[in-house]
Amino acid sequence: MRIYIVRPGDSVWSIARTFGVTPQSIIDANKLQDTASLVIGQSLIIPTRERAYRVLPGDTIWSISRRFGVSVDSIVDLNNISNPYAIYPGLIIRIPEKAKNYGYIEVNGFIQPSTPEKEKAILDESIQYLTYITPFSHHVNPDGSLTPLNDATILKIAKDNKVAPMLSVTNISGANFDTNLISNILNNEALQQTLINNMLDIIKTKGYYGVIIDFERIPPQDREKYNNFLRKVVSQLHPNYIVATALAPKTYDVTEGAWHGAHDYKAHGEIVDFVIIMTYEWGWSGGPPMAVAPINEVRKVINYAVSVIPPKKIMMGIPLYGYDWTLPYMPGGEFAESIGNQEAINRAGKYGAAIKYDEKSQSPYYNYIDKKGNQHVVWFEDARSVEAKYKLVSEYGLRGVSYWVLAQPFPQNYQVLDNMFKITKVIK
C-alpha cells in the first residue's frame, strides 16, 4: 500500500498507469463514487503489492532481502525462483511490499445504536478490523440502575465476527455528563454496590466481555473515591471480565477542573486492565477551527501517559470525523457541523476546493465558499493523518487504538490499519 496525493491533471487511469495497478483496484480501495472528479490534494490509497528491482553486480537474494526489509522466501516465492544462486546483473525481479510490519495491536470501536440497517452498514466496513466493539452507552441513574440500550444487532454481528463486545457505562444525564449524579454515587457505598451488581447482571445476561467506564465531569475532590470505586469494580469482575476506563487527555497530573482533575492516570494504570485516552476534540464544534486531533498535541499527551501508565495498557483515541466551520468564527456563535471523512472529500469536490495538509498537526484541511457566499474551513482526517497516528502508537509501543465513533464511511482508515498492523483477537 502507498499513499498518493492527487495533483492537477491526474485521473484514476493515469495514477493507475503510474503505479502499474488497475484503475478498479484504486476505485475499490478508496470507495470512489465519481472517478471523473478527483480533488487536488486528496490522498489516495494505492494498493500496490510489489515493486520492480534490477539486479546489480554482487547482489544476492539475501542482500536484496536485507535492502528492502523483506524475507528471502517472499522474494523467491513471488518470482518463482527455483535456484536463488542463479540470479544475474540486469535481471528484473519483483520485491514484495512490506506489510503488517508494525506488529499486533488491539482495536476498539465505539458505536451509537441506531437502526439495524444502519448498524449493519456501518459495521460491514469496520467489524473485521476490531478487537472490541462498544455500544455507547448505558447511563447511570441516581439509584444505581442503568438505562437500557438497544444493542441486539450489534452484539449479534460482534459474535458472528469473533469481536469482543464491551459494556459502556457513563454518567450522562440529558445532554451532558452529570457532576452531581456521579458525585452522589461515589460518596455512597450502597449505590456503588448496586451499580456494580447491575453492570455484572448486564454483562452476564448479554454476553459482554467486560466494561469500559467513562465517568466525566467528576468533582476533583472525588478523585480518590473514583479510584476506590474502580478497585471495587475490578475486584468483583476479575478474573472473568476485563475493566477499562476512558480518560481525558492531559500533559501532566492536573488535579483541578471538571474534565481532568479526577482522572488519575497513574492510579488507573495500576488498577484497570487498560485505559482509553480521548486524544481528540482539540478542534471541536463550539471552539475555533483547528485539527480535531493534531499529532503534535496528541504526542504531548501520550508522552505524559507512558510516564505513569504501562504503554501496553494504553489505547490511543482516534477520531473518525471532522468539522466544517462557517467563518468568521465567533465564540458562542454557530457550532461547526460534524462531518464524515469521506463526506469531507466529496464536499471539497463539490465546491472546487483544493485540499491542503498542515505538517505541524499532520491533518488535512481546506477552505470553500458555499452557494450563499459564506466562507468555510473544514478540518478532517485522511490516509496521511491516520498513518501518522498509527506510527505514534507503534513508536510508543501502545496497546492499540480506540475509534470515536463508528458512524460515517472512512475506507482509507481501515486500509492503512490493515497494511500496518495485525489485529489481536481476544475471542477465538
Residues acting as catalytic residues: 216
DSSP H helices, 31-101, are 61-68, 72-79
**End-to-end alpha carbon distance in the chain:** 28
Extract the C-alpha cell encoding 16: 493507475
Beta bridge partners of 214: 170
| Closest of 197, 199, 198, 195 to residue 184, by C-alpha | 195
DSSP H helices, 176-289, are 179-186, 189-206, 223-237, 265-271
> Residue 188 in contact with residue 155, Cβ under 8 Å?
no
Rounded distance, CA 38 to CA 198, Å? 52
| Closest of 203, 210, 213, 205 to residue 140, by C-alpha | 213
Extract the C-alpha cell encoding 175: 445532554
| Closest of 260, 276, 292 to residue 177, by C-alpha | 260
- In terms of residues, how long is the chain? 428
